[in-house]
Amino acid sequence: MSDSTQVLDETALLDRIQAAEGAGRDILDAATREVIGRAPVQDISDVDAAVARAKAAQPGWEARGHDERIALLMKTADAIDANAEALARLLSREQGKPLNGPNARFEVGACSGWLRATAATVLEPQVVVDDGEVHAEMHYRAVGVVGAIGPWNWPMMIGIWQIAPALRMGNTVVVKPSENTPLSVLAMLSVMNDVLPADVLIGVSGDREVGARLAAHPNIDKVMFTGSTATGRKIIESSAGNLARLTLELGGNDAGIVLPGADPKAIAQDLFWGAFINTGQTCAALKRLYVHDSIYNEVVDALKDVVEQTPMGNGLDEKNVLGPLQNKAQFDIVARLVDDARANGGRIVTGGAPASELGELFYQPTLVADVADGVALVDEEQFGPVLPIIRYSDVEEAIASANQLEFGLGASVWGDRDEARKIATRIQSGTVWINSHGGVHPMIPFGGVKGSGYGLEFGVEGLKSVAVPQIING
């Protein structure tokens, strides 16, 4: 642990974390497909060693108390800020998101901001009975060792969503980044570990076998996972063996409902970013849009104007705000769903094909109109730069459509605020935004229902989720 903040360039960050020459696994630039660096490839024995170290360090970390942990987390935020540009450039290359817009620089800034907000969040003991005869309080203590398994779409920011509250409450954390985007996360952990005590925060880089071992490890007390519903179900099965507590943020296929009377031009920009943030690769992005027949064509036209004015390309080019898909598997899903929608009568308003002139994994930002429930693009999560737009005539139809799928992460309603709020209460999702979509705040709890998982993150509820309650009675 060092009291001085080190400022590193991208090369120095990579030198710290990547495997030795001839070892590890090549990680490719999402835009150019050139090698960025070599990710370490660790195995089950490395997981076991990391968990053992974290378990040994946990009592001492908890014993430091809230004030000292808060101070150290504030310093980690300073360290991230000091290295923000190098981290953002590495993230942009590895994940594909451009530097500008709500993308790489935004994500790195969110990491330090979330650390500070989480560190400053107060969780006081709660007096549950005080009637003159009985006095009972509920306190919250560290759960122990947290296994944090992250995704590839917002690898650093979602990593901090898991790490910050866990450390704040006195847990130690073993982080398993996605095998698609390990370098940016390992670089962030390295910067944080310039401040933190040894073995409080440990990264383990490997494949799904490594993640599975971490989730099932007998000395893991809590698992935080963001990823697919299918993998989430496997983690639930693993938790039967170690009785680990779980926070699962799983798949989403968020619906938006545009009410009659909404102003198409006024909402078009926000609708666009609700759907296309991070080139559509966001769990709580707007993924299917239901628009009332009375303004359907106007909404389609207004969105088309925004899409066609938004620059896409290599993320290191300062003018771009949309980038490539992060990996070939996801690119293939997007292409398949658009082709299927076209074959089933969908009208390609704009886009609808690979942007091969930009690179292997670029797909044109695409709007598909005149589709309906039952078409794969509507019913499946596309996780890419494509938005299906579905016409409805009765708001009851739209509500039923919004609720029909297994997912329930987020949703949005657009139009008169009072009417929208009434409709919001009838939608089965963890969050419903009014006249916006996808915004998160460190003090506003966030989590899904149904197949989108369970458990809350952020704010006081997020701290409780990485702690165990203890009743002091007397």
**Which residue is associated with the tokens 């195995």?**
43
In the sheet where 431-434 sits, what is the strand order? 347-350, 366-369, 386-392, 286-292, 254-258, 410-414, 431-434
Same domain, 342 and 291: yes
Express each pLDDT in 303-317 by its tens digit: 999 999 999 999 999
What's the confidence (pLDDT) of residue 6? 87
What's the confidence (pLDDT) of residue 319? 98
Q: Is the pLDDT of residue 60 over 90?
A: yes
What's the confidence (pLDDT) of residue 2? 47
119: in domain? yes
Same domain, 328 and 416: yes
156: in domain? yes
Please state the rounded mean pLDDT for residues 18-34: 96
Same domain, 229 and 378: no
Same domain, 29 and 159: yes
4: in domain? no
Q: How many domains does the chain have?
A: 2
- Report whether 48 contacts 195 (CB < 8 A): no
410: in domain? yes
Same domain, 282 and 239: no
- Report whether 30 contacts 94 (CB < 8 A): yes
Same domain, 408 and 461: no
Q: How far apart are CA 279 and CA 325, in angstroms?
A: 7
Q: Count the Cβ atoms, other than its own, within 10 Å of residue 415.
A: 21
Same domain, 195 and 266: no
Q: How far apart are CA 84 and CA 90, in angstroms?
A: 10
What's the confidence (pLDDT) of residue 5? 78
Q: How far apart are CA 392 and CA 313, in angstroms?
A: 35
CA 396 vs CA 172, 255, 259, 290, 400: distances in Å: 48, 14, 11, 11, 6
Express each pLDDT in 94-118 by its tens digit: 999 999 999 999 999 999 999 999 9
- Report whether 348 contacts 368 (CB < 8 A): yes
- Report whether 157 contacts 111 (CB < 8 A): yes
Express each pLDDT in 130-163 by its tens digit: 999 999 999 999 999 999 999 999 999 999 999 9
380: domain CATH number is 3.40.309.10
Selecting among 94, 111, 179, 283, the annotated active-site residue is 283
Token pair for 385:
């730069």
Q: Is the pLDDT of residue 1 over 80?
A: no
Model-level pTM?
Answer: 0.96
Same domain, 325 and 461: no
Same domain, 213 and 281: no
Please state the rounded mean pLDDT for residues 37-43: 97
**Residue 283 designated active-site:** yes
Segments forming the whole domain that contains residue 69: 10-250+449-473
Torsion angle in degrees (nearest 10) through CA of 369, 336, 359, 150: 100
Selecting among 10, 94, 107, 249, the annotated active-site residue is 249
Same domain, 306 and 385: yes
Hey, what amino acid is at 273?
Answer: W
Q: How far apart are CA 279 and CA 98, in angstroms?
A: 10
Express each pLDDT in 280-333 by its tens digit: 999 999 999 999 999 999 999 999 999 999 999 999 999 999 999 999 999 999
Please state the rounded mean pLDDT for residues 351-358: 98
DSSP state of 20: P
- Report whether 103 contacts 310 (CB < 8 A): no
134: in domain? yes
CA 301 vs CA 100, 291, 324, 391, 435: distances in Å: 26, 12, 24, 14, 19
5: in domain? no
343: in domain? yes
Please state the rounded mean pLDDT for residues 254-272: 98
Ramachandran class of 278: left when φ > 0, alpha when ψ lies in -120 to 50, beta otherwise: left
Of the candidates 339, 340, 384, 443, which has an alpha carbon nearest to the alpha carbon of residue 113? 443
26: in domain? yes
Q: Is the pLDDT of residue 262 over 80?
A: yes
Please state the rounded mean pLDDT for residues 387-399: 98
Alpha carbon of residue 51 to chain centroid: 24
Same domain, 244 and 302: no
178: domain CATH number is 3.40.605.10
pLDDT band (50, 70, 90) for residue 3 = low
What's the confidence (pLDDT) of residue 165? 98
- Report whether 309 contacts 299 (CB < 8 A): no
Please state the rounded mean pLDDT for residues 159-176: 98
Q: Is 201 exposed, middle or buried (0-12, 13-18, 19+ CB in 10 A)?
A: buried
Q: Is 329 exposed, middle or buried (0-12, 13-18, 19+ CB in 10 A)?
A: exposed
DSSP state of 433: E
Q: How far apart are CA 447 and CA 301, in angstroms?
A: 33
Please state the rounded mean pLDDT for residues 182-187: 98
Rg of the chain, C-alpha, whole Å: 23
Same domain, 175 and 261: no
**Which residue is associated with the tokens 């899409």?**
307
How many residues does this entry show for the chain? 474
- Report whether 302 contacts 334 (CB < 8 A): no
Q: How much is the mean pLDDT over the chain?
A: 97
